[in-house]
Structure 1
Amino acid sequence: MLQLGEEVTLYSVIFVVVLLGTRSPVWTTVLTASLYLFLALFRFPQLPAGRVQQVLHPDKGAAGSGRVSAVAHRGGGQDAPENTIAAIREASKNGATGVELDLEFSSDGVPILMHDDTVDRTTNGSGPLSQMRISDLRKLDAAAKHRLREKFIGEKIPTLEEAVEECIKLQLTIYFDVKGHPDESAAALKELYRKHPVLYNSSIVCSFEPKVIYRMRQSDPEVVTALTHRPWSLSRFGDGSPRYSSLWKHQWMTLMDFVLDLAHHHVLWKLCGISAFLIQKNFVSLDYVEYWAQRGVEVVAWTVNTKVEKEYFHELLQVNYITDSLVEDCEPHY
């Protein structure tokens, strides 16, 4: 829970900033009070800690100490073609506790597994998903561009339903990564949870977009959810290089990054009532884990791709991590 002292500090800072901007004590009071009332009226409560533990740490010992979970990113895109049934099976065979799967839609509205909004990078096809029906997607080879394509030749793009059924059969926790389509995604996932109630205790819905998580909680407040975040993502690429050559645009986006980071850590998590916070691994420390623990939120690190990093997150930080491979070191993935 957010401590009272911190909440007072937050609204005091907002009050001072608005006052400096408006020079009006009346409008400053009205705007600050409005924000407080909005959060009080429209925020979602966090789910019980016991349910969250069941999802994030499915193998708990008798003493109650949670086990660190290794989660296969996109099903484990280094070990098998990403976001496929083969990847899910390989992840299970290689000892993953769960899999992270990307939700997208065909042009005729069928929920499928795909990270990009086109099929070019991972298949032998070309074109945007928005122009491809499920019958078209079924004809593609999802292993065509993979380094182990000969082993997985002919692997198909699965529907969300097929992937979930395989995960349930293999007793894998599912991290649904939702890129967009708030209304369509919430409706599809709500139907999935209705059909497979076991998902309430074995899955979590995650997104970079707070509106996706908020819409999911509106649709079904019993679903465990998480916000995903990488600081400075608007102004810089994952390796730290600037996104924009224009100095003015870079500075403006840096300011927006600062605002977004503040919003994630002080407002959005509370509004959405999240249970976990998925953060790029370079920004995770013992202090950071403790920061979120005090708010009843678990940290999950991504993407952890070397043995040394995995040992650090498993042994020292003791937080769940998402990785591209369960069996070998691989390149950084931002």
Structure 2
Amino acid sequence: MLQLGDEVTMYSLVFVVVLLGTRSPVWTAAITASFYLFLAVFRFPQVPANRVRQVLHPIRGTTGSGKVSVVAHRGGGHDAPENTLAAIQEASKNGATGVELDLEFSADGVPILMHDETVDRTTNGSGPLSQMRLSELHKLDAAAKHRLRDKFAGAKIPTLEEAVEECIKLQLTIYFDVKGHPDEAAAALKDMYKKHPVLYNSSIVCSFEPKVIYRMRQSDPDVVTALTHRPWSLSRFGDGAPRFPSLWKQHWMMLMDIILDWAHHHVLWKLCGVSAFLIQKNFVSPEYVQFWAQRGVEVVAWTVNTNVEKEYYQELLKVNYITDSLVEDCEPHY
């Protein structure tokens, strides 16, 4: 729940902004009250804290004095071909608590693991997923572009079902990263939770898109969920470079970033009833962790790839983190 101070500040800000736009106290009061009622009626409650702790802090694989969970990004894309069974197995062998896996769909509607909308970056194939059936995807070598391609030659793009079964067998927590397709993803994951009830205590559904999380909570309110966020993501790339050559458009998107950031921290998390907030590592501080702790939400940082950073998160912040490698320093994937 938001603290009283947050409630007063949020609705006061809404009131002032609307008043400046409408210059009508009556309309301003009506709109602010409608906003309050909307949140009160349509928000989802958070999953009970004891179940959230089972998911975010399982006994297996936690490290450091704060029992921090270390999650392999895309299965640990530096140590093995990302989003493959080989990566999941390698992450388990290297001591990961869990794996973050990207959910996408083949042209024939089968849920699979893939980060991009095309197969070009990671396989020996080319083309958009939306035009490739599962039978075609299974013919590709998912290790073709990996630095350890010889070691993992022949790795395949797995289905969601195959990946889930492997994680359950290895007792790995799963962070399902959903890029889009809110209705399809919610339906596929709901079926997966129904088929494998153990997932309720060993997985979390995450997304940059609040609509995905809200749809997941509609489909199954017992699923633990998280919003993923990187400030300035609309106006800048992961390395900080501006997205748009037009100065006007760049500044407009920066304004949209400010609004989106405010919405994530004061509205969207409460509407969706999330239990965790996945945030890009550069924006995490002790104060930021405390901000979310006061709201019953845990912080998970991404992508933490150096030993110095890992020690900072494990011993000082005591915050779960997502990493590309369990065994060495490496450059982050954005």
In the superposition, the TM-score normalised over structure 1's length comes to: 0.98
Note if contact 1:77-1:83 (Cα within 8 Å) is conserved in structure 2: yes
CA distance in 1, matches of 2:60, 2:189: 27
1:232 aligned counterpart, secondary structure: coil
CA distance in 2, matches of 1:313, 1:195: 35
1:301 aligned counterpart, secondary structure: strand
Other-structure match for 1:274:
274
Distance 1:132 1:74, change over 3 A: same
Other-structure match for 1:108:
108
- Which ranges of structure 2 fall in alignment gaps of 5 or more residues? none
- Which ranges of structure 1 fall in alignment gaps of 5 or more residues? none
Pairs within 5 Å for 1:112-131: 112-131=112-131
Residue 66 (structure 1) shift: 5.7
Note if contact 1:57-1:66 (Cα within 8 Å) is conserved in structure 2: no
Pairs within 5 Å for 1:229-248: 229-248=229-248
Other-structure match for 2:135:
135
Other-structure match for 2:312:
312
1:174 maps onto 2:177 in alignment: no
Q: What RMSD over aligned residues (CA atoms) do the two structures have, in Å?
A: 1.1
Other-structure match for 1:164:
164
CA distance in 1, matches of 2:242, 2:97: 35
Note if contact 2:178-2:212 (Cα within 8 Å) is conserved in structure 1: yes
Note if contact 1:80-1:148 (Cα within 8 Å) is conserved in structure 2: yes
Residue 332 (structure 1) shift: 2.9
Distance 1:66 1:52, change over 3 A: farther
Q: Which amino acid aligns with 1:177?
A: D
CA distance in 1, matches of 2:297, 2:49: 9
CA distance in 2, matches of 1:96, 1:328: 13
2:67 aligned counterpart, secondary structure: coil
TM-superposition CA deviations, 1:189-216 (whole Å, max 9, x none): 0000000000000000000000000000
Q: Which amino acid aligns with 1:272?
A: C
Residue 267 (structure 1) shift: 0.1
CA distance in 2, matches of 1:71, 1:15: 41
Note if contact 2:83-2:101 (Cα within 8 Å) is conserved in structure 1: yes
Note if contact 2:324-2:332 (Cα within 8 Å) is conserved in structure 1: no
Other-structure match for 1:27:
27
Residue 112 (structure 1) shift: 0.2
Note if contact 1:75-1:101 (Cα within 8 Å) is conserved in structure 2: yes
Q: How many residues align?
A: 331
Pairs within 5 Å for 1:166-205: 166-205=166-205
Other-structure match for 2:76:
76
After the TM superposition, list the runs of 4 or more consecutive aligned residues in structure 1 that deviate by more than 4 angstroms.
none
Other-structure match for 1:300:
300
In the superposition, the TM-score normalised over structure 2's length comes to: 0.98
CA distance in 2, matches of 1:237, 1:194: 38
2:274 aligned counterpart, secondary structure: coil
Pairs within 5 Å for 1:54-73: 54-59=54-59, 67-73=67-73
1:36 aligned counterpart, secondary structure: helix
Other-structure match for 1:255:
255
Pairs within 5 Å for 1:190-229: 190-229=190-229
2:74 aligned counterpart, secondary structure: helix
CA distance in 2, matches of 1:286, 1:66: 14
1:325 maps onto 2:325 in alignment: yes
Residue 41 (structure 1) shift: 0.2
CA distance in 2, matches of 1:29, 1:317: 41
Note if contact 1:53-1:66 (Cα within 8 Å) is conserved in structure 2: no
Note if contact 1:60-1:66 (Cα within 8 Å) is conserved in structure 2: no
Other-structure match for 2:153:
153
Residue 6 (structure 1) shift: 1.6
1:97 maps onto 2:97 in alignment: yes
CA distance in 1, matches of 2:218, 2:18: 30
CA distance in 1, matches of 2:16, 2:105: 45
1:156 aligned counterpart, secondary structure: coil
Note if contact 2:225-2:276 (Cα within 8 Å) is conserved in structure 1: yes
Note if contact 2:72-2:326 (Cα within 8 Å) is conserved in structure 1: yes
CA distance in 1, matches of 2:3, 2:309: 32
1:47 maps onto 2:47 in alignment: yes
The share of aligned pairs that are identical, in percent, is 85
Q: Which amino acid aligns with 1:93?
A: K
Q: Which amino acid aligns with 1:103?
A: L
Note if contact 1:72-1:325 (Cα within 8 Å) is conserved in structure 2: yes
Q: Which amino acid aligns with 1:123?
A: T
1:75 aligned counterpart, secondary structure: coil
Residue 333 (structure 1) shift: 2.8
Residue 60 (structure 1) shift: 8.2
